[in-house]
Structure 1
């Protein structure tokens, strides 16, 4: 069962929009355990300047977080695209789990989706390059400067504040974010 938290940014979410989101997201329920409740956070935003709508959905599963976003000229089209992306993600995840279990001699978890095996034909994502980096202690501001000097979208470093690995990255909106780790 999906537990919805639907928020509108720059506009109010009407009952019709909420019903549409829930109807479209119901497609995912066939892949989930009926006995559990899964939190779903939906952010819908409208941009007056370029007349586009953005839909962002995050579904918290026990061992996986599904997240997708899309921007379209129509709010309903953005919702449709996000649900399609989420469905592809969950099919890919289920396919990998089922293949892993089959290799171990355990039968498939779910026989519900017969088209899952046909949806994704790749067992692994190809890693085309491996690089080893030395983590240097620095503060996040210095890490952002290093990232910019290298012309990268992210930079991994040892956070001098807590002596743990961290990552800074450039967001789609041009701002910077910090991913920090716990002990």
Structure 2
């Protein structure tokens, strides 16, 4: 398990790096197949922002917090990740109690961002088949408003999204 700690507008001291690594290891004790963990520490307009991404067993845990103190931000991010883990495990236990977990969840990543007509960022990710319900669960787990996934029933790329009324929508493109 590799932990990468990067600074953005801040020099990451050895003490701060050790603190982040120690706190992140607390979250990783729940899982076995952990990819490279990334922690980005940033200072913007007097706010100390910490973003931690943990790829685990095909899912992506992500937390971000901003406070006036970097150490407090780290602690709050870890609490947020622990809540995500508990929420995820509870949902999986309820949903798959009888049959067991059959398919791995796909890591969710944001789609292409547009700023007028200019593409400023492109992300690529592996798409694994899953049900619409599993895609909604993954979208909620990473706190995004949409999620691109391969629908296991239709074998087509679909998008689930959170509607303003609190319900969910499904986009099924026709090619």
Q: TM-score range by the shorter chain?
A: 0.5 to 0.7
- Partner of 1:21, secondary structure, is helix
Contact 2:8/2:41, CA 8 A, preserved across alignment: yes
Aligned equivalent of 1:43, options 40, 43, 48: 40
Normalization by structure 2: what TM-score?
Answer: 0.55
Measured against aligned partners, the alpha-carbon deviations of 1:32-87 in whole angstroms (never above 9, x if no partner) come to 01xx342111110012x4x2200011111232111110100000000001110011
Match of 1:96 in 2: 91
List aligned pairs for 1:34-183, cutoff 5 A.
36-47=33-44, 49=45, 51-104=46-99, 141=116
Q: Flag the structure with larger Rg.
A: 1
Measured against aligned partners, the alpha-carbon deviations of 1:126-157 in whole angstroms (never above 9, x if no partner) come to xxxxxxxxxxxxx9848xxxxxxxxxxx89xx
* Distance in 2 (alpha carbons) for counterparts of 1:140 and 1:62: 33
* Distance in 1 (alpha carbons) for counterparts of 2:61 and 2:49: 17
Contact 2:34/2:57, CA 8 A, preserved across alignment: no
Please state how far the C-alpha of 1:8 moved relative to its aligned partner.
0.3
Report the number of matched residues. Answer: 112
Match of 1:136 in 2: none
Match of 2:23 in 1: 24
Q: Which consecutive unaligned segments of at least 5 residues does structure 1 have?
A: 108-138, 143-153, 156-163, 167-182
* Distance change >3 Å, CA 96–CA 18, structure 1 → 2: same
Q: Root-mean-square deviation (CA), in Å?
A: 3.2
- Partner of 1:5, secondary structure, is strand
Normalization by structure 1: what TM-score?
Answer: 0.53
Structure (1 or 2) with the greater helix fraction: 1
* Distance change >3 Å, CA 141–CA 10, structure 1 → 2: closer
